[in-house]
Amino acid sequence: MKVSNEVATISKEINAWVKTLDKDDRPRIQPAEIALLTHYIRQLVLYDTLMEIGTGWGGSVAIFNKVCESAGRSNVRIVTIDNGSNFSRFGPKDGTTYDDFISNRLTSIYGVRASRLGAGVFCVHADSTKLYWLARDINLLFIDGAHTYEGVKGDIKNMVPHVAPGGVVIFHDYHMEGVRRAVDEFLGEEGLVIENRGGATVAVRMP
Ligand SMILES: C[S@@+](CC[C@H](N)C(=O)[O-])C[C@H]1O[C@@H](n2cnc3c(N)ncnc32)[C@H](O)[C@@H]1O
């Protein structure tokens, strides 16, 4: 995608910051994906909601937070959801809970201030298929949860109806067969198209 000078400057700053992190802590998000995220985060306004499915080890939240800071969007609310399934499988087996693990990583490694006055970063330990969520107030939805066809279908079914009119849905790992099939079906059914892509990440704007 073609990026503006401002997006290029912010992305460069974020990429430089990523390189200051220990190799194991670096978010698995490529420079082209950071540019795409920056492009859309810059379109958010005061108290808009950026919601992510799949907090994982917090790398993407760290990027969202950093972009919000650099782009003067510190009052954007970031809500990130994970059911802890990867943590149960691959996380430490020393009794640490996922909630403690992720809040510790976000604050100590990524410098995220967990609670900002009036807005903030909210980590929700929940299953995206069982959320009780009524409002249509998600402005930017980042889907990076289960990467199976059924998982992505489920997230589209449960979460996309809560995206505000004109809001954007970003799918990570579109190069994976199950993700691509679910996204392509969704686009076909809704008559939508990919608005932008960066690396293996694609963005779709809702009507
Ligand atoms: C690819 S990882 C996310 C990586 C993360 N965005 C990062 O940058 O570190 C996918 C995450 O989705 C979570 N997940 C899978 N199915 C889920 C569901 N139904 N609801 C919520 N989270 C889910 C897994 O526990 C895992 O942590």
For residue 115, what pLDDT is reported? 59
What is residue 207's DSSP assignment?
A: -
pLDDT band at 5 (very low <50, low <70, confident <90, very high): very high
Ligand 1 centroid to Cα of residue 144, in Å, is 6
For residue 1, what pLDDT is reported? 85
Q: Which domains does the chain have, with CATH numbers?
A: 5-12+30-87+98-205 (3.40.50.150)
Q: Of 163, 121, 171, 170, which Cα lies nearest the Cα of 139?
A: 163
CA 93/CA 162 separation, integer angstroms:
36
Q: pLDDT tens digit string along 76-113?
A: 999 999 999 999 999 999 999 999 999 999 999 999 87
Mean pLDDT, residues 44-50? 93
Q: Is the CB of 9 under 6 A from ligand 1?
A: no
Q: Which regions of 107-146 does DSSP assign to beta strands (E)? A: 115-116, 119-125, 138-143
The tokens of 143 are what?
Answer: 């889907």
Q: Is the CB of 167 under 6 A from ligand 1?
A: no
The CA-CA-CA angle for residues 144, 149, 153, to 5°, reads 75
CA 40/CA 34 separation, integer angstroms:
10
- Round the average pLDDT of the chain to a whole number and report it: 94
| Atom of ligand 1 minimally distant from the CA of 173 | 1
Q: Is the CB of 146 under 6 A from ligand 1?
A: yes
Mean pLDDT, residues 10-31? 97
pLDDT band at 114 (very low <50, low <70, confident <90, very high): low
pTM of the entire structure?
0.96
For residue 118, what pLDDT is reported? 59
Ligand 1 centroid to Cα of residue 14, in Å, is 22
